[in-house]
Amino acid sequence: MRRTLVLIAGLLLLALPSFLPLEGLSAAGAITLGIFLCAGLFWVFEPIPIYATSLLVIGAQLLFLSKSSPLVVARAFPFPTAEATSPDKFMATLAHPILILFLGGFMLAEAASKYSLEKSLTRLVVAPFGNQSGRVLFGLMFATALLSAFMSNTATTAMMITVISPIIATLPPGDRFRTALALAIPTAANLGGMATPIGTPPNALALGALSSAGYSVSFSSWMLLAAPLVVASLAIGWWLLMKLFPPSAPTLALKLDGGFDRSRPAILLYIVGGVTVALWLTEALHGVPSTLTAFIPIALLPALGVIGKKEIRSLSWEVLWLVGGGISLGNSLKDTGLATWMINLIEWQSLGPVAVLAGFVVVSITLANFLSHTVTTALLVPIAISLGTSGALGAGASMVFIAIAIALASSFGMSLPISTPPNAIAIATGLVTTPQMARVGVVMAVVGLVLTAAAALFFWPLLPL
């Protein structure tokens, strides 16, 4: 009955916006709003699998918004054909570069599992923290956040999920700490990306927009602004996971004996994996995108015989569909003007600087749960800068802080599997449900709101920038 009610409610939400007088929103935007509301409901309550919802998103876009749809060609909807989108754009999201990054990470993880590389890596990462459950969890989160500060959050998560696999294997099936471990990695990856300008694309985007407006923020200045926020939120995230998903035993019975596999395929895996990770870590130096680097393991691991058809068939293909649907929905929100329409519902000019800051942070965190963090920042930062340059925010420094706060706040949008690629990877483990992820994500969103606003208002103005 619950599943049926959610399905009916989703269909009603899908159709409702098209019959409402939504001033300033195009007909295509209204249809996209319906898809957005329906998908959000399905992703939260899961009347159908979450990856199926993502495929339905693309299917609905092809049916209602595509130029080639018979409904659009027959003008069954009251919007000009010019507003329709090429079907290729919707279907292309299933081969989006971020999905290639996923696939590269998945293939490395599958190969590592085949040759027990993850056990050796786990021993190296966990050994300094002992075997106490809480300390092991903190050590994993610290390592993940540190890596995410300098390389792709998605690549970091893919690697660290591999690292924790042997630890999870030592726990009984009913131990809630299994969920804590699986959620710790994406949580730390999302938070660690805030620490440096290269940690996540929204950071670089905000700096680029500020630079175009005549404001320069150095690498060290960014770290001075963001590092305390990362440390505080990471500590709170660790405490939250320990409270929500406590371990059944104070220590972990880790059995990680043994050395590295020295067979020819394993050595080839070490070389390919080492080169891939090195290029990910040094992306800022050579400029090769992490998505392009991900094709190294995709192309070489099967070609060298490191993995075969069995491993390829066992990859988490449903996760790629899940992320592809989220990307496609985000594109429609931007392209139809729906995201801008939602942002413009607020009269920013009528608010004071403090209220504007809080409003931007709230909107950034909220949108980032449904849109890509980069798209969220790309939408909001220009508005903040335009308000600042027009004098609506007062001093120029407040505009700089608001722009940075928007980028940092977007990283706290982690309530749903589609919110970030690291979240989708965690869901793929089968150890985390959407409600569990939402519980942690909503609390961290509130934490992010409070910490980011407090830092921008009281801490950042005191720093010698």
- Residue 254 is predicted with a pLDDT of 65
- Residue 303 is predicted with a pLDDT of 95
Judged against a pLDDT cut of 60, whether residue 229 lies above it is answered with: yes
Q: Measured between alpha carbons, how far is residue 367 from residues 33, 197, 362, 400, 407 in Å?
A: 13, 21, 9, 21, 12
- Residue 12 is predicted with a pLDDT of 93
Q: Measured between alpha carbons, how far is residue 241 from residues 128, 184, 382, 444 in Å?
A: 21, 7, 35, 11
User: For residues 284 and 267, what is the distance between their CA atoms, to the nearest angstrom?
Assistant: 27
DSSP string, 165-193: HHHHHTS-TT-THHHHHHHHHHHHHHHHT
| Average pLDDT of the residues in 134-161 | 85
Helical packing angle, 396-410 and 201-212, nearest 10°: 160
| Average pLDDT of the residues in 148-166 | 81
Q: Where are the alpha helices (DSSP H) in 74-200?
A: 87-91, 97-114, 117-126, 133-148, 153-169, 177-192
- Any idea of the CA torsion for 277, 280, 284, 288, to the nearest 10 degrees? 120
Judged against a pLDDT cut of 70, whether residue 215 lies above it is answered with: yes
Average pLDDT, the chain: 83
The residue extents of the domains of the chain are 2-91, 97-198+220-317, 327-462
Q: Look up the pTM and report it.
A: 0.72
Range in 135-139, 183-187, 364-368, 380-384 the model is least confident about: 380-384
Judged against a pLDDT cut of 80, whether residue 4 lies above it is answered with: yes
User: For residues 120 and 270, what is the distance between their CA atoms, to the nearest angstrom?
Assistant: 12
346-361 pLDDT, tens digit each = 776 677 778 888 888 9
306-316 pLDDT, tens digit each = 999 998 998 87
User: For residues 142 and 124, what is the distance between their CA atoms, to the nearest angstrom?
Assistant: 14
User: For residues 367 and 407, what is the distance between their CA atoms, to the nearest angstrom?
Assistant: 12
| Biggest CA-to-CA distance, the chain | 68
